[in-house]
Chains A and B, each alone.
Chain A
Amino acid sequence: MALPNKVLPGFSATIYCQPGATPTPLTVANLSVYASVSPVVIVGNLIPVEAIPAFGQDDAMANFNVAGSRQSDKIPTQAAPTSMTITAAWNPADTNLLLIRNDAYNGTVDRTFVISASDGTNIVNYAFNGRVGQFTVDPNPTAESKCTFTIHPRGNQYGWSNNTV
């Protein structure tokens, strides 16, 4: 089996979180190892989110003026990992949402999260370590209750892996 080699549709990705109140996040090297990441990718660790937000790295650049040139120059500079604001249907007793809520109140819990995308056969995992910032509950009477939380990935702590091997 190899890396998915086609344009994936929406809803092909799911997010999982490491279990436990005080997890030991995977080291950077292990975030790129499928065998290390796949134990996190189990149904019990699934976060019941509505959609996976954009993930990756933000843009950052510096604009330099070049004497005598018509155009200035843009050089990429140190960029922040993309923060992920996620909405989930709120079940007050959901184990993983409770973990997320407690992480948000704590603010210093590092946890490994995995976004797993599949074309039905092959799988690609994006694993990263992050801390939870925001956690809000929206009990709007016109719709089902929702909670919103933001995961802030730690810098340089990510890895890609797939089930090629």
Chain B
Amino acid sequence: MKLSEAIELLTSTYQSLDAVALGLPVDAKEVADALAKADPDSAEYVALQALAKVNPYENTKKEKVKQNDDYNQE
């Protein structure tokens, strides 16, 4: 599902945001990126927060780079 569609659905619903977000398959990285750019005082931000809660994004690449650095130091 497109992130914009999910946001539109979440910003227009009268149901529980957490419950609705559970049924919206979106890309976690896309959500994290959009959340970082969103205005904190906007409906989109609230919707993205609900999506981020059920689609947590972990920056594994960054962690791997750090791990490699640690190995190199050793």
Contact = CB atoms under 8 A, between A and B. Distances in A.
26 contacts: A25-B14, A27-B12, A27-B14, A28-B15, A28-B16, A28-B17, A29-B10, A29-B11, A29-B17, A29-B50, A30-B11, A30-B43, A30-B46, A33-B41, A33-B43, A33-B45, A33-B46, A35-B41, A35-B42, A154-B14, A156-B15, A156-B17, A157-B14, A159-B46, A161-B41, A165-B39
Contact of A156 (B16, B41, B43, B45): B16
Contact residues of A: prevailing secondary structure: mixed
B40 interface: yes
Report the interface size class on chain B. Answer: 10 to 19
Interface residues of A, number: 18
Contacts of B17: 28-29, 156
Contacts of A159: 46
Contacts of B16: 28, 155-156
A129 interface: yes
Contacts of B43: 27, 29-30, 33, 36
A165 B11 CA distance: 20
A34 interface: yes
Contacts of A96: none
